[in-house]
């Protein structure tokens, strides 16, 4: 039993080393990178699609999609105007830094400003595997229920921003926004939160501003290190 623990630690530290390499690669190319995580059906791809449609004429966007099978989501990102790469994990329920590294070899990073990684739909292990992106985003949605921060604390604790999607469904489902937000606040005090609907477009502009401000900030931070 006890021999399992060191093995897991070894795998994770190997992953962290590769994540750092990915991070340096993004920085060398001047690319800001975000990792989008959520349960299946929360609206990761819809958020990415709306982001590409809204910002695609101002910045150059690459998208890397991780799914167990199919390329449906990469196809949607590509149709919206991004350069999209598909990773099929063949059963793995999360992306890791090795998978991202091989996907990055297929992208001309020098020609991009933003890379959006869509992780495999799962509220457990994606939080355990660093990829080397600059910000981790969690997309939650109203129909999933207001208890999710309490049930999946690991996911809510580690992220830089929480997007609460499908706000247009609030009148139709029982969802206590205060209860939900208190859960987030306890686990991750002061974390950035966005209430929006990818379907109606309500609330999207605040999210888009945050993305743009962070791309700008990342560029400035890099210049200041020279
Ligand atoms: Mg998707
Ligand atoms: Zn997994």
120-169 pLDDT tens trace: 999 999 999 999 999 999 999 999 999 999 999 999 998 999 999 999 99
Long-range CB contacts for residues 1-9, cutoff 8 Å, separation at least 24: none
Query: pLDDT band at residue 226, thresholds of 50, 70 and 90?
Result: low
Query: pLDDT band at residue 225, thresholds of 50, 70 and 90?
Result: low
Which ligand is nearest the CA of 119, by number? 1
Q: 127 C-alpha to center of ligand 2: Å?
A: 9
Kindly state the average pLDDT of the residues 11-15: 84
Which ligand is nearest the CA of 139, by number? 1
Query: pLDDT band at residue 75, thresholds of 50, 70 and 90?
Result: very high
Q: 43 C-alpha to center of ligand 1: Å?
A: 7
Per-residue confidence (pLDDT) for residue 221, from 0 to 100: 85
Q: What is the pLDDT of residues 178-223, one digit of tens each?
A: 999 999 999 999 999 999 999 999 999 999 999 999 999 999 988 7
CATH H-level, domain 4-220: superfamily? P-loop containing nucleotide triphosphate hydrolases (3.40.50.300)
Per-residue confidence (pLDDT) for residue 9, from 0 to 100: 72
Per-residue confidence (pLDDT) for residue 80, from 0 to 100: 96
Q: 213 C-alpha to center of ligand 2: Å?
A: 31
| Cβ neighbour number for residue 92 with a 10 Å cutoff | 16
Residues in the chain: 226
Per-residue confidence (pLDDT) for residue 30, from 0 to 100: 96
Domains of the chain, residue spans: 4-220
- pTM of the entire predicted model: 0.93
Both tokens assigned to 167:
């706000």
Q: 220 C-alpha to center of ligand 1: Å?
A: 31
Per-residue confidence (pLDDT) for residue 1, from 0 to 100: 55
Query: pLDDT band at residue 15, thresholds of 50, 70 and 90?
Result: very high
Name which of 106, 56, 109 is nearest 85 in CA terms.
Answer: 106
Which ligand is nearest the CA of 84, by number? 1
Which ligand is nearest the CA of 42, by number? 1
Per-residue confidence (pLDDT) for residue 7, from 0 to 100: 72
Per-residue confidence (pLDDT) for residue 182, from 0 to 100: 97
Kindly state the average pLDDT of the residues 42-48: 98
Q: 122 C-alpha to center of ligand 2: Å?
A: 7
Q: 14 C-alpha to center of ligand 2: Å?
A: 16
Which ligand is nearest the CA of 66, by number? 1
Ion ligand 1, residue ranges at CB < 5 A: 44-45, 73
Per-residue confidence (pLDDT) for residue 12, from 0 to 100: 72
Query: pLDDT band at residue 2, thresholds of 50, 70 and 90?
Result: low
Q: 95 C-alpha to center of ligand 2: Å?
A: 7
Which ligand is nearest the CA of 47, by number? 1
Helix segments in the chain, DSSP class H = 4-28, 44-55, 72-80, 97-104, 148-151, 153-157, 177-187, 204-224
Query: pLDDT band at residue 4, thresholds of 50, 70 and 90?
Result: low
User: What mean pLDDT value characterizes the chain?
Assistant: 95
Q: 91 C-alpha to center of ligand 2: Å?
A: 9
């Amino acid at each position: 039993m006890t021999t399992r623990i060191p093995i897991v630690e070894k795998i994770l530290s190997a992953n962290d080393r590769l994540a750092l390499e990915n991070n340096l690669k993004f920085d060398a190319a001047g690319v800001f990178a975000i990792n989008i995580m959520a349960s299946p059906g929360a609206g990761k791809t819809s958020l990415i699609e709306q982001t590409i449609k809204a910002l695609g004429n101002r910045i150059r966007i690459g998208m890397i999609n991780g799914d167990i099978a199919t390329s449906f989501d990469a196809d949607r990102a590509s149709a919206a105007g991004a350069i999209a790469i598909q990773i099929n994990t063949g059963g793995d329920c999360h992306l890791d830094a090795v998978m991202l590294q091989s996907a990055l070899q297929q992208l001309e990073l020098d020609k991009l400003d933003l890379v959006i990684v869509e992780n495999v739909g799962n509220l457990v292990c994606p939080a355990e595997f660093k990829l080397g992106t600059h910000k981790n985003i969690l997309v939650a949605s109203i129909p999933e229920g207001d208890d999710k921060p309490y049930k999946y604390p690991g996911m809510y604790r580690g992220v830089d921003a929480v997007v609460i999607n499908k706000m247009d469904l609030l009148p139709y489902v029982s969802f206590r926004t205060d209860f939900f937000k208190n859960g987030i606040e306890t686990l991750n005090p002061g974390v950035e939160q966005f209430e929006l609907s990818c379907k109606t477009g309500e609330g999207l502009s605040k999210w888009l501003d945050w993305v743009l401000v962070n791309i700008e900030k990342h560029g400035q931070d890099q210049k200041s290190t020279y």
